[in-house]
């Protein structure tokens, strides 16, 4: 198709110029193949460069005043380049549309794949949470103490071992062991109920028997009271003996030794004596409880707790100077009374010679002996010097003397005195102040003093032997009979 161009003349008129452009030059025919071979952006850059060169050449013609015929050809070439620019621009737009369409077509499977990926990630997170929950699940199986597998295979019945509960072998074994444990616990529950019922029956039987036994003492009291004349007639003092033995358990050790030795002498040799325990039993029980707490150390702990309290004042420790005489001579609540009878008279009631009272002084750890119901009469002289140089007017051992000093002595105002033979009888043995060997070895001593000391040593020698009880009783009887014969 012929292309019509308009040119501007110098005179201001217009002139039409027809120009035939080959199809190949415009871009027809093989233009697609050439444009496809070369990059559109490079073609556009080349076209732009050719336009700029044509414009530069036209400016140079204008300036140098060259003929206008040269401008026509340059204008035709510049128009051709503009046409090429439009063609290149169109090809770029077409390529852009093609890329957009391909992009839109490619986005569909991409979005589908993205959706599948999102679904897979969601399923993954769900499975991860489930696995974590399964791992953190606390089962009751570890808390159940099951029997070992060896005991299970040995003791479980065949119906439990032969059943199939799961396809997994370890899980199946666990289920079987749990079933076996359940069956055993059911049997134990039945046995527990049976034993509880038996226990209830036995408790009722025991309660009935306790009720019956609780009524026995009240039923035995009339029987005991009725049997007392028979016991007195036959000489059997069973009731008194039991009561006396219960009271003897509360005696301090020295009085208990005296009581046990005198009782053994009476039972073994038929000695004509009688024993009696008098005093306040409740006070003796309280004192025994206090001594037991003191020995075990519980009382010291209580005192320490009281000392730690801010509102409690510590107790004052009493020394020997602050102790008064009444506190020093405080005796144990229980006392042992010895009734001595004449062994040559058949009737005991008419043959009673004397009654001795044994007391234990707690602070001084000594035994005092005196006449029962005595008024400092002549009968008190029976016990004085029962053994040589044993008047009972001074403390028998050095520990008591150091405790009270030399100011306190046993004078005639006190009916009970700490005789040395009473200490030996109670098991309170002590060393003499001067050794007997030292007494015999002194050649410079006076003859009277030497004889006196020898008499003292010889007088205590039978007292330290096993026949001390018999010797004491024999001397008391001899003195009492002599006193009665003189009166």
* Residue 417: DSSP 8-state: B
Nearest to 422 by CA among 373, 364, 484: 364
Tell me, what's the pLDDT at 149?
Answer: 82
Q: Cα-atom radius of gyration of the chain, to the nearest Å? A: 68
pTM of the model: 0.49
Contact 346, 338 (CB under 8 A): no
> What does each C-alpha distance from 192 to 143, 186, 187 come to in angstroms?
22, 10, 9
Residue 192 has pLDDT above 90, yes or no: yes
Is residue 176 a contact partner of residue 161, using CB atoms and an 8 Å limit?
yes
**Ranges 9-18, 33-42, 44-53, 370-379: which has the least confidence:** 9-18
Q: What is the C-alpha to C-alpha distance for residues 230 and 234, in angstroms, rounded to an integer? A: 6
Asked whether the predicted pLDDT for residue 5 surpasses 50, the reply is no
DSSP three-state, residue 69: helix
Higher pLDDT, 289 or 118: 118
**Residue scoring higher pLDDT (248 or 442):** 248
Cα separations in angstroms, 246 against 221, 224, 227, 281, 332: 18, 17, 20, 10, 16
385: phi > 0 → left, psi -120 to 50 → alpha, else beta; which?
Answer: left
DSSP β-ladder status, 14-19 and 3-8: antiparallel
Indicate the average pLDDT of the chain: 76
Q: What is the pLDDT of residue 37?
A: 44
Of residues 45 and 139, which shows the higher confidence score? 45
Q: Could you report the per-residue pLDDT of 233-269, keeping only the tens digit for each?
A: 665 566 677 777 888 888 999 999 999 999 999 888 8
Higher pLDDT, 466 or 375: 375
Query: What distance in Å separates the CA atoms of residue 415 and residue 396, rounded to the nearest whole number?
Result: 16
Mean pLDDT of the 291-297 span:
79
For residue 277, what are the β-bridge partners? Answer: 336
Candidate from 11-15, 174-178, 202-206, 444-448 with smallest mean pLDDT: 11-15
Helix, strand, coil share (%) of the chain residues, nearest 5 = 60, 10, 30
Strongest mean pLDDT among 166-170, 344-348, 439-443: 166-170
Poorest-pLDDT segment among 28-32, 76-80, 347-351, 477-481: 28-32
Ranked by mean pLDDT, the top range of 158-172, 403-417, 433-447 is 158-172
CA-CA distances (angstroms) from residue 146 to 164, 166, 448? 19, 19, 95
pLDDT at residue 29 is higher than 60: no
Query: Rounded to whole angstroms, how far apart are CA atoms 390 and 383?
Result: 9
Write down the pLDDT at residue 434: 66
- Confidence at 436, pLDDT banded by 50, 70, 90: low
Residue scoring higher pLDDT (160 or 320): 160
Structural domain spans, the chain: 3-131, 147-236, 245-280+318-486
Q: Is the confidence at residue 130, as pLDDT, over 80?
A: yes
In the DSSP assignment, the letter for residue 380 is G
With a CB cutoff of 8 Å and minimum separation 6, the contacts of 388 are 452, 455, 456, 458, 459, 460
Region 269-287 average pLDDT: 88
> pLDDT > 70: what percent of the chain?
71
Most confident region among 46-55, 148-157, 380-389 by mean pLDDT: 46-55
Confidence of residue 299 (pLDDT cuts 50, 70, 90): low
Structure tokens at 346: 């058949």
Residue whose C-alpha is closest to residue 314's, from 304, 323, 322, 324: 304
Residue 44 confidence (pLDDT) above 80: yes
Cβ neighbour number for residue 367 with a 10 Å cutoff: 29
pLDDT attached to residue 338: 93
Report pLDDT for 259.
92
- Best CA proximity match to 239, nearest among 228, 250, 226: 228
What confidence score (pLDDT) does residue 14 get?
37
The four Cα atoms 263, 268, 271, 275 give a dihedral, to 10 degrees, of: 10
């Amino acid at each position: 198709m012929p292309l019509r161009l308009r040119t501007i003349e110098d005179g201001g008129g217009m002139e039409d110029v027809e120009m035939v452009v080959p199809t190949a030059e415009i871009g027809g025919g093989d233009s697609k193949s050439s444009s496809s071979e070369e990059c559109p952006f490079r073609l556009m850059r080349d076209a732009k460069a050719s336009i700029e060169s044509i414009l530069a050449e036209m400016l140079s013609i204008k300036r140098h005043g060259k003929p206008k015929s040269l401008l026509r050809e340059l204008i035709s070439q510049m128009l051709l380049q503009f046409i090429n620019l439009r063609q290149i621009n169109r090809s770029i737009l077409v390529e852009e549309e093609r890329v957009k369409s391909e992009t839109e077509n490619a986005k569909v499977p991409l979005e589908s794949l993205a959706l599948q990926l999102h679904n897979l990630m969601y399923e993954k997170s769900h499975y991860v949470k489930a696995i974590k929950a399964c791992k953190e699940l606390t089962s009751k199986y570890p808390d159940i103490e099951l029997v070992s597998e060896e005991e299970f295979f040995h003791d479980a019945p065949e119906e439990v071992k032969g059943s199939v509960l799961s396809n997994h072998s370890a899980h199946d074994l666990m289920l079987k062991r749990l079933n076996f444990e359940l069956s055993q616990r059911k049997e134990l529950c039945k046995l527990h109920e049976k034993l509880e019922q038996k226990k209830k029956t036995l408790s009722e039987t025991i309660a009935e028997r306790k009720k019956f036994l609780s009524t026995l003492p009240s039923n035995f009291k009339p029987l005991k009271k009725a049997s007392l004349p028979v016991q007195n007639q036959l000489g059997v003092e069973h009731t008194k003996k039991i009561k006396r033995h219960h009271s003897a358990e509360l005696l301090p050790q020295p009085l208990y030794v005296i009581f046990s030795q005198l009782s053994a002498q009476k039972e073994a040799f038929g000695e004509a004596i009688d024993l009696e325990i008098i005093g306040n039993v409740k006070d003796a029980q309280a004192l025994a409880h206090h001594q037991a707490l003191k020995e075990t150390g519980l009382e010291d702990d209580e005192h320490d707790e009281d000392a730690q309290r801010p509102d409690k004042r510590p107790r004052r420790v009493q020394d020997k100077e602050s102790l008064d005489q009444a506190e020093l001579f405080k005796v144990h609540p229980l006392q042992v009374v010895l009734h001595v009878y004449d062994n040559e008279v058949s009737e005991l009631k008419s043959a009673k010679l004397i009654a001795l009272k044994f007391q234990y002084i707690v602070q001084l750890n000594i035994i005092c002996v005196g006449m029962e119901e005595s008024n400092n009469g002549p009968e008190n002289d029976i016990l004085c010097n029962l053994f040589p140089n044993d008047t009972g007017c001074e403390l028998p051992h050095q520990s008591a003397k150091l405790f009270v000093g030399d100011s306190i002595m046993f004078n005639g105002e006190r009916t009970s005195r700490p005789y040395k033979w009473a200490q030996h009888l109670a098991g309170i043995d002590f060393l003499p102040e001067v050794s007997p060997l030292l007494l015999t070895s002194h050649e410079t001593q006076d003859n009277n003093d030497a004889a006196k000391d020898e008499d003292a040593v010889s007088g205590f020698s039978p007292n330290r032997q096993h026949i001390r009880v018999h010797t004491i009783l024999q001397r008391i009887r001899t003195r009492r009979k002599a006193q009665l014969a003189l009166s």
